[in-house]
Amino acid sequence: MVLAENGHDVRLWTHHQDQADEMIATGKNARYLPDLQLPKNISITSDLALALEGAELINFVVPTKAMRQVASQVLAVFQEAGVTNLPILMHASKGLEQGSHLRISQILEDVFSPLGEAKVVVLSGPSHAEEVAQHDITAITAAGTDQVACDFVQEVFMNDYFRVYTNPDIIGVELGGSLKNIIALGAGALVGAGFGDNAKAALLTRGLAEITRLGVTMGANPLTFMGLSGVGDLVVTATSVHSRNWRAGQQIGQGQSVEEVEAHMGMVVEGLATAVSAYELAQEKGVEMPITQAIYLVIKEGLSIKEVVTALMTRERKGELQFEDNLADLF
Ligand SMILES: NC(=O)c1ccc[n+]([C@@H]2O[C@H](COP(=O)([O-])OP(=O)(O)OC[C@H]3O[C@@H](n4cnc5c(N)ncnc54)[C@H](O)[C@@H]3O)[C@@H](O)[C@H]2O)c1
Ligand SMILES: O=P(O)(O)OC[C@H](O)CO
């Protein structure tokens, strides 16, 4: 909707034929934004080849677990059409691939490698779709290693209610956006289990510390986690009723099983799968992530929120900074 309102011709592809038919007939997206009329310059189709023809920018926004499959479908269309020059590939999804622990841009680079080196940009930051669609003020980050591609994404998306900053640190931006969902689940779980504001503040702060710890190990710039895609997205997701991750956490904190919560949400709760991937990645890299581990134990071993909170609070004593730390050495 932002792109269309900025005057660009947009093609919206869905794999559900009936959803496409309904949107074409009504001009509305009844399932996601029932009260809003879609701009007229969005054409809707379930024909992927039609959606891709001549596109300058492709935006992938399917759940992480569907990303490789959908990207492979796009590759097949390109190969069939004899495309040799890849358009800019962009995504706005937040997660790590199960098993490989790859970031989304790495999945896209991998899938499209038969056609050469892909220019991938991620658009990530504090942004609930419901609020963007109503023109509420949003500021977000376009990150990638190709500056021209990032500038292009910034240019086409920016307007007076949607402000885009560029950032070359795609590792940090993708990890910030993915890992905050684990902490948002935890924040909802604390509320569901009856804990208060002190607990929430402690979780967000120590959550950001462990996100940064894994991020820096993976090659990110620590300052990215102080930005929109780091602390910004953490705050919006961990404190908002719009957040699926927060709501899922709240229900788990109230005693519902993970399976029940996932089945009833009707939309992806990325933090559940990301907690497992991030825990495995942290183990592999030898990075301490106690909150992620706690959420992992709730998901995989069925521990209750109260049990993991007690375990977190009674861990060995620590320093927030070390007495021998030099501020200049921290970054
Ligand atoms: N909703 C938001 O406000 C928001 C904001 C920023 C980022 N994100 C991220 O965007 C991604 C998608 O989130 P969403 O809220 O749109 O989730 P969603 O569960 O609503 O799924 C998005 C779309 O993907 C489609 N889809 C699912 N599996 C598919 C497959 N195998 N093939 C083709 N299409 C498939 C669904 O039908 C749906 O139309 C997530 O990674 C999420 O973290 C969402
Ligand atoms: O609804 P959630 O929890 O998937 O969060 C949506 C976005 O990531 C917020 O920026």
Nearest-atom index, ligand 2, CA of 126: 10
Q: What is the mean pLDDT of residues 43-58?
A: 97
| Ranges of each domain in the chain | 2-170, 177-330
Average pLDDT taken over every residue of the chain: 96
ipTM confidence score = 0.98
Contact 292, 285 (CB under 8 A): no
What angle separates helix 305-313 from helix 170-192, to the nearest 10 degrees? 110
Active site residues: 180
Domain 2-170 has CATH 3.40.50.720: yes
Provide, rounded to the nearest whole percent, the portion of the chain with pLDDT above 70: 98
| Homologous superfamily assigned to 177-330 | N-(1-d-carboxylethyl)-l-norvaline Dehydrogenase; domain 2 (1.10.1040.10)
d(CA 114, CA 107): 13
Amino acid identity of 118? A
Report how far ligand 2's centroid is from the alpha carbon of 284 (Å). 27
Task: Band the pLDDT of 209: cuts 50, 70, 90.
Answer: very high
Q: pLDDT digits over 125-141, tens only?
A: 999 999 999 999 999 99
Q: pLDDT digits over 97-128, tens only?
A: 999 999 999 999 999 999 999 999 999 999 99
Task: Answer whether 2-170 and 177-330 agree in fold.
Answer: no
Hey, how many other C-beta atoms are within 10 angstroms of the C-beta on 307? Answer: 14
Report the b/e string of 77-86 with b at 16+ CB within 10 A.
Answer: bbeeeeeeeb
Q: Is 268 flagged in the annotation as binding?
A: yes
Q: Whose CA is nearest to atom 10 of ligand 1?
A: 93
Q: What is the mean pLDDT of residues 246-274?
A: 96
Residue 41: pLDDT over 90: yes
Ligand whose nearest atom lies closest to the CA of 132 = 1
Q: What residues does ligand 2 touch, defined as CB less than 6 Å away? A: 94, 126-128, 181, 184, 233, 236-237, 242-245, 270
For the four alpha carbons of 303, 309, 315 and 318, in that order, the dihedral sign comes to positive
Residue 224 confidence (pLDDT): 98
Give which of 236, 242, 257, 308 is closest to 279, Cα–Cα: 308
Nearest-atom index, ligand 1, CA of 69: 31
d(CA 171, CA 184): 20
Report how far ligand 2's centroid is from the alpha carbon of 150 (Å). 22
Q: pLDDT digits over 161-175, tens only?
A: 999 999 999 999 999
Q: Is 16 flagged in the annotation as binding?
A: yes
d(CA 65, CA 257): 21
Task: Band the pLDDT of 241: cuts 50, 70, 90.
Answer: confident
Residue 327 confidence (pLDDT): 64
Residue 331 confidence (pLDDT): 52
Residue 255: pLDDT over 90: yes
